[in-house]
Amino acid sequence: MLKGKVALVTGAGHGIGRAHALELAGHGATVVVNDLGSSVSGEGNGRDADRVVDIIRERGATAIADYGDVGDEAQAEAMVARAFDEFGRLDIVVNNAGIVRDRAIWNMSVEDFDLVVRVHLRGSWLVSRAAATRWRADAKASGAPVYGRIINTTSGAGLQGNFGQSNYSPAKAAIAALTQTLSLELASIGVTVNAISPVAATRLASGVVGQGAVVESDERADGAFDPLDPALAAPVVAWLAAPQSGHISGQVLRVTGEYLALMQGWEPLVKTFNGRKYWDATTLGAVTATEFFRTRAPGVRAGS
């Protein structure tokens, strides 16, 4: 399905990203396996990426490791350039790298906010920009569309919010908006841009889903279906990366256990009209009292 294609997967040393890299390689893609080598935050050591590359090669496919920091402009540019230098092309970008620093807002430091936004949002933007710049140049040079796929990673926290994640949730919400915007900007050169919203038991999510020891999906014994398997979203990524999904762009797909859902963004739920007059703040409560507002806190009524 992906024979001859070259993919870059960020944050692919373990968990969901590792499953993506293995799935893409299993369908014939050559994979640049990115996972952080080292950083000021103490994240990463590079060995995870090496292990994934070894697995891919043992299975007869081609892969190289990259240890760049997606949040660093020069390193993001370099990892994309490396794909072109090593293989002559880059067709697929999977922006998966991420970290968490969970705390309620009154306990969260500015550093923890900035770091999470830097990796998730800035990192996705930097890698996408590096690829998009090259793809656009190729399209202008040839006068024809290119083959390009960007697949971003959002989350339920980004779509609905989550207590203790006032850094992570906005970053993931912004990635959904980034996906829609890039789908518009890159459509004319043939590039599709979509996002997945996976649910899985990973090191990143251990404090949220409350799982025990994390086991990589490719190391699990065959058996019953696991609704938190990190590999559940990988076939969706491979499909979005493939030629047959070229008509799909600007979409968010949520993968939860056995369910695949097409998500819909901010659309009007209820409308009311004021007959070409300015709204009056003193009467808005009566206008909207019946069905307009919903509270997020169970048992709490509007105005109480």
* Residue 128 is among the residues annotated as catalytic for this protein: no
Q: Sheet harboring 148-153: ordered strands across?
A: 63-66, 30-34, 6-9, 92-94, 148-153, 191-198, 252-256, 259-262
CA–CA distance, 165 with 93 (Å, rounded to integer): 26
Using alpha carbons, list the distances in angstroms from residue 223 to 70, 176, 220, 255. Answer: 36, 34, 8, 20
Enter the tokens of residue 288.
């909207």
Q: Which of 172, 197, 217, 249 is catalytic?
A: 172
Q: Which of 155, 166, 169, 249 is catalytic?
A: 155
Q: Which of 168, 169, 197, 249 is catalytic?
A: 168
Among the listed residues 229, 186, 191, the one whose alpha carbon sits nearest the alpha carbon of residue 211: 229
* Residue 140 is among the residues annotated as catalytic for this protein: no
Q: Which residues make Cβ contacts (< 8 Å) with residue 88, sequence separation at least 6?
A: none
* Residue 277 is among the residues annotated as catalytic for this protein: no
CA–CA distance, 14 with 193 (Å, rounded to integer): 24
Catalytic residues: 155, 168, 172
